[in-house]
């Protein structure tokens, strides 16, 4: 997805919960299972990171920005979180994403949002090793598979002449 498509999907989401979910997916590169199982007690608001249970029962951290922080706080102010951040399980989140994809006409899923996270960071000049850690991937090879959509023109924007 492009940054514009991502912004459009967030704007067209019907409620704060859905906006917060999409925004958190995009900011963090979370897997669907990771996002669905977030415990509000594991959110570090100072650092804007969330402790999550990753693939292979590993522990990891996911980061988020100020827009996502505001959406999460707005959602939590209206929702009584009893150990879970969302009132949906992973199937419910997947259904919400499918409906939003259909209503916006922008094809996406949780996995597409994870790829978008990696691609946008790559286009911003973040190294593969940093993307690997931020997205909780176990190898740089996986990051490189996720960022194949980054073109020469994207890299050229980051280029600065070596010899001046």
Which among 68, 8, 61 has a CA at the least distance from the CA of 38?
A: 61
In sequence order, the 6+-apart residues with CB closer than 8 A to the CB of 87 are 17, 79
pLDDT of residue 159: 62
Can you give the pTM of this predicted structure? 0.88
- The sign of the CA dihedral 82, 59, 121, 117 is negative
- Whether domain 3-156 has CATH 1.20.1600.10: the reply is no
Whether residue 83 contacts residue 39, with contact meaning beta carbons closer than 8 Å, is answered with: yes
Distance CA 34, CA 55 (A): 8
Tens digit of each residue's pLDDT (9 = 90 or more) over 76-102: 998 876 778 998 999 999 999 999 999
Whether residue 105 contacts residue 55, with contact meaning beta carbons closer than 8 Å, is answered with: no
CA distances from 21 to 66, 89, 99, 105, 160 (A): 14, 12, 14, 18, 36
Tens digit of each residue's pLDDT (9 = 90 or more) over 104-121: 999 999 999 999 999 999
| 137 pLDDT higher than 70 | yes
Q: Which token pair is 10?
A: 């967030």
């Amino acid at each position: 997805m492009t940054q514009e498509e991502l912004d459009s999907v967030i704007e067209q989401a019907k409620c704060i919960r859905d906006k917060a979910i999409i925004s958190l997916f995009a900011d963090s590169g979370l897997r669907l299972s990771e996002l669905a199982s977030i415990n509000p007690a594991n959110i570090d608001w100072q650092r804007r990171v969330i402790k999550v249970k990753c693939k292979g029962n590993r522990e990891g951290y996911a980061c988020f920005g100020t827009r996502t922080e505001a959406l999460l706080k707005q959602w939590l102010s209206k929702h009584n979180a009893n150990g879970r951040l969302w009132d949906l399980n992973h199937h419910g989140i997947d259904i919400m994403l499918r409906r939003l994809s259909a209503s916006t006409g922008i094809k996406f899923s949780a996995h597409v949002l994870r790829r978008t996270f990696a691609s946008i960071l790559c286009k911003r000049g973040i190294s593969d090793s940093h993307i690997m850690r931020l997205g909780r991937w176990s190898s740089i090879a996986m990051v490189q598979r996720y960022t194949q959509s980054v073109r020469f023109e994207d890299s050229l924007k980051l280029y600065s002449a070596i010899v001046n």
